[in-house]
Amino acid sequence: MSKEPMNSFAGKWALITGASSGLGLDFADLLAAQKVNLVLAARRRESMEKLAADLRRKFGVDVLVEAIDLAAPGAASHLKSSLDARSVTIDILLNNAGYGLHGALLDTPIERTTDMIQLNITTLTELTYLFGRDMAARRSGHILLVASLMAFQAVPSYAAYAATKAYVLALGEALHDELRSHGVVVTTLCPGHTATGFDAAAGAATTALLRLLTMKPRPVAASGVRALMEGKAMVIAGLANKMAAFSNRLTPRSMQRATLKRIVDG
């Protein structure tokens, strides 16, 4: 715990999307431990209600549950309106919801791809706009966008997913500069392969090489929260992942694609 961020968010409200599984669980636990009140938003109400009860008991914080399909058009506005009606002011937005699809683009039903784009890009952008606008008006706020190590290069068999995360990274870095003068911190977290169930949801097998590179979710989430509190524009979780991203500056893009193809598909 000594390596986790020092307490400066206590008493504020944080909205965590994708809060029913994966990194969302660790984001929730880390913030609740700092006495941050939470809004948990995802589709699975039952798992969020259990998490909420655990966090209330362990840390004595307020936790609200918003069961919502964030991939549905208009979901961001609906969520914002629901919280406004409850007079909940969001000080910290963790845009964590998202998923990937593994396989050739032409072999994947286009409806699944557009659903992923809706969640990974459109809803994320709408939430950032809606809550970021309020934060800018108050001249105070923090926004964490979860991208991916795949944001740094094209990835065959994850073509559309990697492209959505490249968007998130570019958006986050630009907004870091745009909103800084308004008192709002925007940080983008780029995890590498993390033990969150991502592969099962994406329909992918985990290669032996990928297993060697896998990080546990707790240090990934902690690095994101720490970077947000420190006001950084971007953080890559893990030394090996930092080295991989840096190596992209030194290698041809064709080599990057070939390397990633070997790592994710064997």
pLDDT band of 249, cuts 50, 70, 90: confident
Give, for 13, the enclosing helix (H) or strand (E): strand 13-17
The pLDDT value given to residue 147: 98
Region of residue 139 (phi > 0: left; psi between -120 and 50: alpha; otherwise: beta): left
Q: Which of 99, 129, 158, 161 is catalytic?
A: 161
The pLDDT value given to residue 208: 67
Tell me the three state secondary structure of residue 146.
Answer: strand
99 part of the active site = no
Residues 38 and 49: beta-carbon distance below 8 Å: no
Q: Which two tokens stand for residue 209?
A: 């090489």
- 206 pLDDT exceeds 80? no
Residues 40 and 19: beta-carbon distance below 8 Å: yes
How far apart CA 265 and CA 237 sit, in angstroms, is 22
Predicted model pTM? 0.90
pLDDT digits (tens, 9 = 90+) for 81-135: 999 999 999 999 999 999 999 999 999 999 999 999 999 999 999 999 999 999 9
Q: Which residues of 7-26 are buried (b: 16+ CB within 10 A; e: fewer)?
A: eebeebbbbbbbbbbbbbbb
How far apart CA 134 and CA 101 sit, in angstroms, is 33
